[in-house]
Amino acid sequence: MKKCVFKGCGTALVTPFSKDNKIDYNALDKLIDFQLEGNIDALIIFGTTGEASTLTDDEKATMAKFVLKKVNGKIPVIAGAGSNNTFRAIELSKLLESSGVDALLHVTPYYNKTNEEGLIRHFTAVANSTNLPVILYNVPSRTGMNISPCACGELANVSNICGIKEASGDLRVIGPIHSKAGEDFAVYAGNDDVILPTLACGGVGVISVLSNILPVQVSEICNSFLGGDINKTRTLTSKYARLISLLFCETNPIPIKYALSLTGHCNDYTRLPLWNMSEANKELLKREMEFLEII
């Protein structure tokens, strides 16, 4: 049987930058401390929230080693290694495996779109290039490609493909994914606004943006449900619904980086083409964080 990499809350960690566009390791150190103190269950680096597409290979290797040394085996560290070039995705997988990460996250090939057979062959080739567990990442709003339940069923036959970050927004696919891929194929909510229904449909956790600023609370949302306290999960989900919406009112990770600047964890610098949040949306997000007594 497959073993899922984690259950509960995995934080899709931002990559903090300094004003001169370099990785801010002092801020990263503080962010990791904050996450560990918040009892999250995994860290995901080099995902969408981590601005992976703007990082060089050297930056990824150096940052991965820094994160792993800081985490020191307390929780799994999962690294994004996706590409729209299969051979490039294999190179990244090998690089990050050599850095010591615990698992890989692989997004569907973007722009260079393929058919379902090509998609299956892409993920199979990538998974066969590494000994690490591989989590698929389905986010068609960004990539223009969707991983169907049937494709999940095929890919579940690859021994180290163990689950999927399901960010299509279509909750109807979770049941068919389990039907095709098996109950031991882990499904993670890919969006914070669908944690509760994803768990209710048999998911095992979330890869979260919100937990960058609320690790304790998102962990409670997941652990309450998994522990049978569904009412607590509902209450917390309702409490943070507007905040979640505001964190996605502009392209992720622009809002979450602004939120982290308000909590003092890092600056809100992003790398181009991402740019500063609008002043109007900044004010809305700040007010909601004040209302929730986060700041």
> Which residues participate in catalysis according to the annotation?
137, 165
Contact 55, 63 (CB under 8 A): yes
Pairing of strands 205-208, 42-45: unpaired
Name the DSSP letter for residue 295: -
Q: Dig out the tokens for 90 from the structure.
A: 């294999």
Give the Å distances, CA to CA, from 122 to 85, 92, 185, 212: 9, 14, 19, 31
Helix-helix angle 254-263:279-291, to 10 degrees: 50
**Based on the number of CB atoms within 10 Å of its own CB, is 232 exposed (0-12), middle (13-18) or buried (19 or more)?**
middle
Cα–Cα distance, 91 to 15 (Å, whole number) = 21
